[in-house]
Chains A and B, each alone.
Chain A
Amino acid sequence: MNPNTFENYQTENFFDEMFGNSNDSNIFEFYKPIYDRITDLTESEFEQKKKQADSSFLEHGVTFTVYGDDIGTERIFPFDLVPRVIPDKEWQKVEQGLRQRILALNLFLNDVYHGGKIISDGVIPEEVVKTSAHFRKEMVGFDVPQDIYIHVCGSDLIRDEKGKYLVLEDNARCPSGASYLLENREIMKKTFPRTYQKMSVRSVEEYPEILLRSLENLTPRKLQKPVCVLLTPGVYNSAYFEHTFLARQMGIEIVEGKDLIAIDGFVYMRTTQGLVQVDVIYRRLDDEFLDPLFFNKNSLLGVSGLMDAYLKGNVAIANGIGTGVVDDKVTYAYVPEMIHYYLGQDPMIEQVPTYLCWREKDRKFVLENLSELVVKSANESGGYGMLIGNISTQKEREEFASRIKDNPRDYIAQPIISLSRHPTFCPHGVEGRHIDLRPFILYGEDIEIVPGGLTRVALEKNSLVVNSSQGGGSKDTWVLSN
């Protein structure tokens, strides 16, 4: 059977991005042009397009590294040719909600590192903040440039069985994926040029420019062209492709820790013509590794003396140090309260109800209902450290139960959400696969969000895990302009 046929397509009991809740194949109007284009393809045309896309990714080295495999195994991030389409009105609502959220998160960080009014007012318990794995006490009382902590934020969105958007988690440290978003778009423009034009899809290519502007906005020296660099952990990091990609697109140097040197409170890069002072560092390295004098003493990736220069205000770092507090899934549970507290508003995008295991009542409930819940470790990402109740074994549940009892602060639980599904090419025709959306929110002089984001898709049937490290793939996301 053709891989591009919808003949046996079933939406089942999920919200389908193309067909909604209906099983009578009433397609959403805004999906029509691309649906027609795909179903018009002959099998060989389809195969050819698919092959072109795959080889283009591999040849251009659009790869990521899988840990735990052989060291440095590179794979292409699987890509699906059916684009996700988001109509203009729907996107506007999402965009507003994301703006609201990053504002509140940023105000929260500024607050907890400056006395913590939100704590003394009793909105969030102090112990939640102070026991967070990524809380940096060194940052207390320090004023970050322009009061911005989160310059790039990836707040993952999902849609439930009714199609309602929900925030699943916030990534306020070093969210990755923007390069795939840009590369996917390049490929899709080549694959379906006329349909792309006909649907008037909003462009995303400005992302690197906006990112550079928001970095330059932080410079401590008032120069016409501040020296910005991208700090990477190096060539074996899973997101290394993305680092070089973004550096190239922004036209800035990509540096490793050993390319930088801190002398007397200033940071320099080592060039063939001598040392050059650095103003802004876009780091793709976690806090712990930034400065062996300050954090992890064994880190070979960082720069000795970097934190000293940062705290003296001689170099800016994006994202700021200590933003990981809001990535903590326990803090996440309090974001609606933050939005009320700082902005006096209701959250425009809701989030997933969360049980906090350190609360005795919640813990009791969680332990009694493990098979109906998703249990997550508060500070892991990438789909690691997770229990999905309904597909877990008795043994796994017992293991998680004992982990929860030993360390209640580190675990949260949420109801299992049936993520929305999207038509996806599979070997025997188009089938529905679960997806989420990672938008990229840039906080510079203004808050700017490129339309859409990276749609991640769980390629395995019935799987809910979309992370690339766990066999997920991606799709291009088309936000329409009218």
Chain B
Amino acid sequence: MLSRVADNLYWMSRYVERAEGVTRLVEVNRDTDLEFYASEIKRDYWQSALCAMCAVDDFANDEIDDHELFILFSKKWSSSVLTCINMARENARMVRDQLSEEIWVELNNLYLFLNSSTFPEKFRSDPENFFRRTIRFSLVFQGLSDATIHHDEGWRFMSLGRYLERSDQTSRVIDTLTMLGEEPTRLDLIGALRSCSALSAYRRQYQGALSLRNVADFLLFSRDFPRSLRFAVSRIDTLLHEISGVPSGNFSNEAERLTGSALAQLNFSGIESLLADGLHESIDHLQRKLIEVGQSIFETYVLLPFEIKNAGVAPMAQRQMQQQ
């Protein structure tokens, strides 16, 4: 398939996944904020959320001065829900011939809803509707991706985008727990689980025993929970090998090598050794590896060999940087 198309599909689904993650985060923060009102602990959730998303400077420079509205609707910040949906649609528009009609209609509908002139009023009077609709859209989008289009190369690039974004989101959520400056409370832990829509799955596994160790263990190492880091990296590994045709356990490009090494760590180490090395440092390390995976996919499948050397000049590379 066309390299640009692969790139567009990848970013389309990455932005959809990001929109969902950010929406959940805000929804959970709103709720936890309420709970903390009555307690003695004072938490600046919004600040730590901005920290985890590397958006502190963006917020300072934006004309929107409300945390929540900034995260949801900033037009300047590249990861606000509004920007994500607009970018997802922009990418989709460039590859409409590859998508099923249903996918396009769903995405376009949400885009029209968020960009309609009546939206701000609707959000003020019924914010819940917005949260529900955005999260539901992302889930419908995933279902439609799986049920209405060929599971061919293009679909694999879409799935890659989704799982790379998801691994990024999950690792950031765990990281917020290390950035509180003190032991996370019960509410902090519940908030983290809910941000990954993992609360009930977690309860089933641990029957309610909330601890940082268990929460981190679950979100990092669960083999079967679809938002754990291990699950996502394992999917990335499979998808990369399906695309290249090289058997798993070997590698034919840098993306495969890095993913393989991250997966080995997640498969064969455990929470104890990670805690011993320092949770924040370990997560940071994994996160950086995954960012490199994204870059290597781009270099392997989108750029031509002679463009990698002067990637600064290639127009595609410029676009990639803008999107990130």
Interface residues of A (CB under 8 A from B): 58-61, 234-235, 240, 244-245, 247-248, 253-256, 258-259, 261, 269-272, 275, 300
Whole-angstrom distance from the CB of B24 to the nearest CB of chain A?
Answer: 26
Could you tell me if B108 and A61 are in contact, using CB atoms closer than 8 angstroms?
yes
Whole-angstrom distance from the CB of A102 to the nearest CB of chain B?
Answer: 28
A269 partner residues in chain B, CB cutoff 8 A? 2
CA distance A390 to B186 in the complex (A): 79
Whole-angstrom distance from the CB of A240 to the nearest CB of chain B?
Answer: 7
Interface residues of B (CB under 8 A from A): 1-6, 90, 93-94, 96-97, 101, 104-105, 108-109, 112, 153, 157, 243, 301-302, 304, 315-316
In the complex, which residue of chain A has the Cβ closest to the Cβ of B105?
Answer: A59
List 19 other contacts, CB 8 Å, given A258-B316, A269-B2, A270-B3.
A58-B112, A59-B105, A59-B109, A234-B94, A235-B93, A247-B97, A248-B96, A248-B97, A253-B5, A254-B97, A255-B2, A255-B4, A258-B4, A261-B304, A270-B2, A271-B2, A272-B243, A275-B304, A300-B315
Other-chain residue from B101, B157, B243 in contact with A60 (beta carbon distance below 8 A)? B101
Most buried by B among A59, A234, A255, A256: A59
Could you tell me if B108 and A270 are in contact, using CB atoms closer than 8 angstroms?
no
Most buried by A among B5, B97, B316: B97
CA distance A275 to B305 in the complex (A): 11
Whole-angstrom distance from the CB of B314 to the nearest CB of chain A?
Answer: 9
Other-chain residue from B96, B301, B316 in contact with A244 (beta carbon distance below 8 A)? B96
CA distance A258 to B318 in the complex (A): 13
Other-chain residue from B4, B97, B101, B153 in contact with A270 (beta carbon distance below 8 A)? B4
CA distance A470 to B10 in the complex (A): 37
Could you tell me if A253 and B2 are in contact, using CB atoms closer than 8 angstroms?
yes
In the complex, which residue of chain A has the Cβ closest to the Cβ of B243?
Answer: A272
In the complex, which residue of chain A has the Cβ closest to the Cβ of B94?
Answer: A235
Could you tell me if A244 and B3 are in contact, using CB atoms closer than 8 angstroms?
no
Could you tell me if A271 and B96 are in contact, using CB atoms closer than 8 angstroms?
no
Whole-angstrom distance from the CB of B112 to the nearest CB of chain A?
Answer: 7
B108 partner residues in chain A, CB cutoff 8 A? 59-61
A-B contact pairs, 8 of them (CB 8 A): A59-B109, A61-B93, A234-B94, A235-B93, A247-B97, A253-B2, A253-B5, A270-B304
B90 partner residues in chain A, CB cutoff 8 A? 235
Could you tell me if B105 and A60 are in contact, using CB atoms closer than 8 angstroms?
yes
A271 partner residues in chain B, CB cutoff 8 A? 1-3
B316 partner residues in chain A, CB cutoff 8 A? 258
Whole-angstrom distance from the CB of B315 to the nearest CB of chain A?
Answer: 6
Could you tell me if A258 and B315 are in contact, using CB atoms closer than 8 angstroms?
yes
| A272 touching B301 in the complex, CB below 8 Å, given contacts A58-B112, A60-B104, A259-B4 | yes
CA distance A9 to B11 in the complex (A): 53
Whole-angstrom distance from the CB of A60 to the nearest CB of chain B?
Answer: 7
Could you tell me if B97 and A259 are in contact, using CB atoms closer than 8 angstroms?
no
Whole-angstrom distance from the CB of B86 to the nearest CB of chain A?
Answer: 11
Could you tell me if B105 and A272 are in contact, using CB atoms closer than 8 angstroms?
no
| A272 touching B104 in the complex, CB below 8 Å, given contacts A59-B109, A61-B93, A235-B94 | no
CA distance A256 to B95 in the complex (A): 11
CA distance A105 to B120 in the complex (A): 55
CA distance A275 to B3 in the complex (A): 10
CA distance A269 to B5 in the complex (A): 12
B2 partner residues in chain A, CB cutoff 8 A? 253, 255, 259, 269-272
CA distance A300 to B316 in the complex (A): 13
Could you tell me if B93 and A240 are in contact, using CB atoms closer than 8 angstroms?
yes
A261 partner residues in chain B, CB cutoff 8 A? 304
CA distance A61 to B93 in the complex (A): 9
Could you tell me if B97 and A272 are in contact, using CB atoms closer than 8 angstroms?
no
In the complex, which residue of chain A has the Cβ closest to the Cβ of B8?
Answer: A235
B3 partner residues in chain A, CB cutoff 8 A? 259, 270-272
In the complex, which residue of chain B has the Cβ closest to the Cβ of A255?
Answer: B2
Other-chain residue from B4, B104, B243 in contact with A61 (beta carbon distance below 8 A)? B104
Whole-angstrom distance from the CB of B281 to the nearest CB of chain A?
Answer: 35
| A272 touching B153 in the complex, CB below 8 Å, given contacts A58-B112, A61-B104 | yes
In the complex, which residue of chain B has the Cβ closest to the Cβ of A229?
Answer: B2
Most buried by B among A61, A235, A275: A61
CA distance A281 to B9 in the complex (A): 23
Could you tell me if A61 and B96 are in contact, using CB atoms closer than 8 angstroms?
yes
Closest CB pairs A-B (n = 6): A248-B97, A244-B96, A272-B301, A270-B3, A247-B97, A272-B6
CA distance A269 to B4 in the complex (A): 10
CA distance A234 to B95 in the complex (A): 11
In the complex, which residue of chain A has the Cβ closest to the Cβ of B90?
Answer: A235
Whole-angstrom distance from the CB of A424 to the nearest CB of chain B?
Answer: 27
A58 partner residues in chain B, CB cutoff 8 A? 112
Whole-angstrom distance from the CB of A421 to the nearest CB of chain B?
Answer: 34
CA distance A61 to B102 in the complex (A): 12
CA distance A58 to B116 in the complex (A): 13
Whole-angstrom distance from the CB of B82 to the nearest CB of chain A?
Answer: 16
Whole-angstrom distance from the CB of A183 to the nearest CB of chain B?
Answer: 12
B93 partner residues in chain A, CB cutoff 8 A? 61, 235, 240, 244
In the complex, which residue of chain A has the Cβ closest to the Cβ of B245?
Answer: A273
B105 partner residues in chain A, CB cutoff 8 A? 59-60
| A244 touching B315 in the complex, CB below 8 Å, given contacts A59-B108, A61-B108 | no
B301 partner residues in chain A, CB cutoff 8 A? 272
B157 partner residues in chain A, CB cutoff 8 A? 272
B94 partner residues in chain A, CB cutoff 8 A? 234-235
In the complex, which residue of chain B has the Cβ closest to the Cβ of A249?
Answer: B97
In the complex, which residue of chain B has the Cβ closest to the Cβ of A252?
Answer: B97
Whole-angstrom distance from the CB of B132 to the nearest CB of chain A?
Answer: 20
CA distance A321 to B226 in the complex (A): 54
B302 partner residues in chain A, CB cutoff 8 A? 272
In the complex, which residue of chain B has the Cβ closest to the Cβ of A232?
Answer: B94
Whole-angstrom distance from the CB of B151 to the nearest CB of chain A?
Answer: 16
A245 partner residues in chain B, CB cutoff 8 A? 96
Most buried by A among B94, B109, B153, B302: B94
Whole-angstrom distance from the CB of A67 to the nearest CB of chain B?
Answer: 17
CA distance A61 to B106 in the complex (A): 11
B5 partner residues in chain A, CB cutoff 8 A? 253
Whole-angstrom distance from the CB of B150 to the nearest CB of chain A?
Answer: 13
CA distance A306 to B290 in the complex (A): 38
CA distance A244 to B5 in the complex (A): 12
Whole-angstrom distance from the CB of B283 to the nearest CB of chain A?
Answer: 31
CA distance A271 to B154 in the complex (A): 11
Whole-angstrom distance from the CB of B42 to the nearest CB of chain A?
Answer: 44
In the complex, which residue of chain B has the Cβ closest to the Cβ of A240?
Answer: B93
CA distance A275 to B157 in the complex (A): 19
CA distance A398 to B94 in the complex (A): 45
CA distance A254 to B6 in the complex (A): 13
Whole-angstrom distance from the CB of A104 to the nearest CB of chain B?
Answer: 35
CA distance A248 to B4 in the complex (A): 16
B315 partner residues in chain A, CB cutoff 8 A? 258, 300
Whole-angstrom distance from the CB of A293 to the nearest CB of chain B?
Answer: 17
CA distance A207 to B301 in the complex (A): 34
Whole-angstrom distance from the CB of B12 to the nearest CB of chain A?
Answer: 13
Whole-angstrom distance from the CB of B4 to the nearest CB of chain A?
Answer: 5
CA distance A235 to B302 in the complex (A): 19
Could you tell me if A256 and B4 are in contact, using CB atoms closer than 8 angstroms?
yes
